[in-house]
Amino acid sequence: MSDAFLKISDVNRIYEDEDNNSTEALKDINLEVNKGEFVSIIGASGCGKTTLLRLIAGLDKPQSGYLSLHGEKIIGTSPKRGYVFQQGGLFEWLTVEQNIAAGLKARHIYKENKHRIPEFIDMVGLNGFEKSYPHQISGGMAQRVAIARTLINDPELILLDEPMGALDNFTRADLQDKILEIRKSQNTTMILVTHDIDEALYLSDKIVIMTPRPGRISEIINVDMYHPRNRNGHDYVNLRNKLLEKFHLASEVKEPEYII
């Protein structure tokens, strides 16, 4: 038996519509993630990246195969598997500190943990914005709130569903560095879904490349570079070019053949 922290074995996911038409989203997915690793999943739109993340979160379940964490089968959601959505998913009527506390209140552990809220506000660099509402802060700051809201529940695994996809380049780079700081200080295992090869390369220990639907794992690339990484360094640029080529090949869809 493997001692992997997260194990995904022979997972398949098929969706059916009201007319009984089937869409094969994921096929024969096998993946192992070690504790403390940062793994990015990249692939073309519609290849099943978010579907896979939702299965790990317990928000969905496969037709066949299984997923396990610490050797225990994943069934349903758990605060131990924190999920950061693409748009943050903040409650617009709550302040920054109230949003961060939302999970604690839902779990009925707010009273004994409320003293920790300033610690997580400081961790994501939002001091001075405790009483601000989501419409009063930037998109990058809102994503920091979402990350802090996840972290305060002490997750063993954080699932990041393109949380930087809608941000400008400068805000994105700043949030990437903040995520790396948090990961180092908390030693938290993280899995990121992204379309951005450079983002995956900058953050990850391991990059999983997926094919178009049905989503399969085309290749797994180990990134053996120390942090902080120089985006213009020789090794970095060489690996980026190799990844671009591999990503292109994995995403390539054959042109249809026409018989006249």
pLDDT digits (tens, 9 = 90+) for 128-176: 999 999 999 999 999 999 999 999 999 999 999 998 888 888 888 998 9
Do 128 and 192 fall into the same domain? no
Exposure class string for 126-152: b at 16+ Cβ within 10 A, else e: beebeebbbeebebbbbbbbbbbbbbb
pLDDT value of residue 256: 47
Domain count, the chain: 2
Residue 162 · residue 183 · CB < 8 Å: no
| Tokens of residue 97, six digits | 């500190």
pLDDT value of residue 45: 86
| Residue at a domain's end among 154, 174, 192 | 154
Do 10 and 40 fall into the same domain? yes
Answer whether residue 210 is part of any domain: yes
pLDDT value of residue 258: 46
Amino acid at 140: G
**H/E stretch holding 51:** helix 49-57
Do 162 and 241 fall into the same domain? yes
pLDDT value of residue 17: 82
Do 168 and 250 fall into the same domain? yes
Answer whether residue 1 is part of any domain: no
Q: Residue 168: which CATH number? A: 3.40.50.300
State the pTM of this model.
Answer: 0.91
Please state the rounded mean pLDDT for residues 63-82.
94
Range of the domain at 185: 6-80+157-254
Do 237 and 201 fall into the same domain? yes
Of 253, 189, 228, 258, nearest in space to 44 by CA: 253
